[in-house]
């Protein structure tokens, strides 16, 4: 992961203020499969169309944020809720 570990220590979800951590490869693969099937939506309701290379997740696993070119995209409207993913956590 390209995100600076010190930055990761202070980042929190802007929607819930829960701490974040790197999303593991297995869950990243599951998300990308759901993205390919156009099953995931951002918090703003738009369909997630671009697969994730890397991502952060809240420590409770409820929200995912993409990382693009090493930059966490921590915008509320770009939060990806995981509530519809079966057996997510």
Share of the chain above pLDDT 70, in %: 98
Burial of 11-41, coded b for 16+ CB within 10 Å and e otherwise, reads bebebeeeebeebeeebbebbbebbeeeebe
Decide: 65 and 20 in contact? Cβ < 8 Å: yes
From CA 48, how far away is CA 80, in angstroms rounded? 8
Give residue-wise pLDDT tens across range 8-51.
889 999 999 999 999 999 999 999 999 999 999 999 999 999 99
Domain spans of the chain, in order of start: 5-81
From CA 39, how far away is CA 69, in angstroms rounded? 24
From CA 38, how far away is CA 35, in angstroms rounded? 5
pLDDT band at 82 (very low <50, low <70, confident <90, very high): very high
Contacts of 70 (CB under 8 A, 6+ apart): 2, 3
Asked if pLDDT for residue 64 goes beyond 90, the answer is yes
Q: For residue 22, what pLDDT is reported? A: 94
Of 47, 85, 77, 49, the C-alpha closest to 23 is 85
């Amino acid at each position: 992961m390209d995100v600076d570990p010190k930055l990761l220590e202070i980042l929190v979800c802007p929607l819930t203020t829960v701490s974040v951590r790197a999303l593991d490869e297995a869950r990243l693969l599951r998300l990308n499969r759901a993205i390919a099937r156009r099953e995931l939506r951002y918090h703003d309701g738009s369909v997630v169309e671009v697969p994730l290379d890397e991502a952060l997740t809240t420590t409770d696993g409820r929200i995912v944020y993409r990382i693009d070119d090493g930059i966490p995209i921590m915008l509320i409207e770009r939060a990806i809720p995981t509530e519809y993913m079966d057996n997510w956590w």
